[in-house]
Amino acid sequence: MLDTHGRKYVQPAIDGTASVLLRWKLTANQVTGIAFLIGLSSGVFVYVGQPLLAVAFLWISGFLDAVDGTMARKTKPSAWGTVLDITFDRVVEISVILGLAFAYPEAQWALLLLSVSIIISMTIFLTVGALSEKQGVKSFYYQAGVAERTEGFILFSLMIIFSGQLVWMTLLFFAVEMFTAFQRLFEAKRLLK
């Protein structure tokens, strides 16, 4: 929801950063890789008990994830870049979930439920994107929902910072993710008739 409706407010910073990185001769795929490595380290920071670093690295990776797409649109988007971007996004999320699961074993069952809800929601999202004839700014149809990347980062940040309430925060994230899955499923029924 925030990605869809709030992007216009941060787009100038994204555009500016994309222009600087292009002047430095970086490609969109290189920035995707940098964002991936930074995001991956977030889960490590969770595990070693550095929550503020974990959150900072998570958000830096998320910002660069938005920048790489803008860079691609300013140059030449590629299907390979889209595959890398979507795959690396999920691996960063898995990194955070694993960091939390290893650091807080008592919450593993809730984190497993969260993982299942992300898989379900992303399956619907990617399938509708592949089957839909609609095109957007991105290289496939982007299905908006209550839980988009920014909402996920907010909830991951709350889970990391307020680890004493990890189970409840995770169950909240699970509920939001499942709501989004059903929201996308009902939209898919309307779009793909």
User: Domains of the chain (ranges plus CATH)?
Assistant: 2-191 (1.20.120.1760)
pTM for this model (two decimals) = 0.90
Average pLDDT, integer, range 128-144: 68
- pLDDT at residue number 153: 96
pLDDT > 70: percent of the chain? 92
CA distance 102 to 113: 15
**What's 162's DSSP letter?**
T
- pLDDT at residue number 2: 66
Tokens of 52: 């503020």
Placement of tokens 């592949």 in the chain: 130
CA distance 126 to 78: 17
Q: What is the CA radius of gyration of the chain?
A: 17
The better pLDDT of the pair 124, 3 is held by: 124
